[in-house]
Amino acid sequence: MLKKKKKENTDTPENINVTDKENIIDEQLGHEEQPELTAPAAAPSAEEKLQEELAQANDKYLRLYAEFDNFRRRTIKERAEARETEGKELLVALLPVLDDFERAQRSMEKAVDVAPVKEGVTLIQNKLKNILGQKGLKEMESIGAPFDADLHEAITNIPAPTNDLKGKVIDEMEKGYYLKDRVIRFAKVVVGA
């Protein structure tokens, strides 16, 4: 019996060391072991902050540079496409005139009388002038106007038939044209001397 008592006494709370007592109490109360709390991370140093700011600035710079490069490429591409199709509107407007000329050629092959053919060509010319006028083309009026080197190209000088025609345009060899108030072709003229 004595042996039994000694064995029983080994499990008694007096014989258990302090840490074992805490574990037993925690198990009885249902507490789990609390992990040790780590110390909060040290605040970043000034050098680390500056390196982070530098990395952010470099990233921002690279993004802006890439965005600008994309913008530049896109505008170059758009300008090239615009140059390729810039005359498209005018050409589409002139296609009916081309069709009229083809019809006039077919009718000239069968025509016996010249008057209707002449009238048809005049109608086509008026149609062409109207279309070009809508696009901003305007004829230059030169005959009787004083010679202006900014508008006219003198082919030759001839003696003026009257004194009031001296220094003025007497005849026009080739018409001059404006496109929206800018000279696109100078008039070739004969000037009175």
CATH of the domain at 181: 2.30.22.10
| Alpha helices per DSSP H over 32-113 | 46-85, 88-110
Which range marks the domain in which residue 171 is found? 138-193
CA nearest to 134, candidates 97, 83, 105, 103: 97
Query: Does the residue 188 lie in any domain?
Result: yes
Beta bridge partners of 172: 189
Please indicate, yes or no, if residue 57 is contained in any of the structural domains.
no
8 A C-beta contact, residue 136 and residue 180: yes
Q: What is the largest CA-CA distance in the chain?
A: 162
Residue 27: predicted pLDDT: 59
Domain assignment present for residue 38? The answer is: no
- Integer CA distances (angstroms), 19 to 6, 26, 32, 36, 63, in order: 22, 11, 14, 16, 60
Q: Please check whether residue 80 lies inside any domain of the structure.
A: no
> Six-digit token pair at 15?
């014989």
pLDDT of residue 62: 95
Whether residue 169 lies inside any domain: the answer is: yes
In a domain? residue 162: yes
Tell me, yes or no, whether 158 lies in a domain.
Answer: yes
Asked if the model's pLDDT at residue 88 lies above 70, the reply is: yes
Q: Which residue has the tokens 């050409």?
A: 91
Whether the per-residue pLDDT at 78 is higher than 90: the answer is yes
Question: Does residue 130 fall inside a structural domain?
Answer: no
Q: pLDDT tens for residues 115-126?
A: 888 888 899 899
pTM score of the predicted model: 0.52
Q: 189 pairs with which residues across the strands?
A: 154, 172
Report how many domains make up the chain: 1
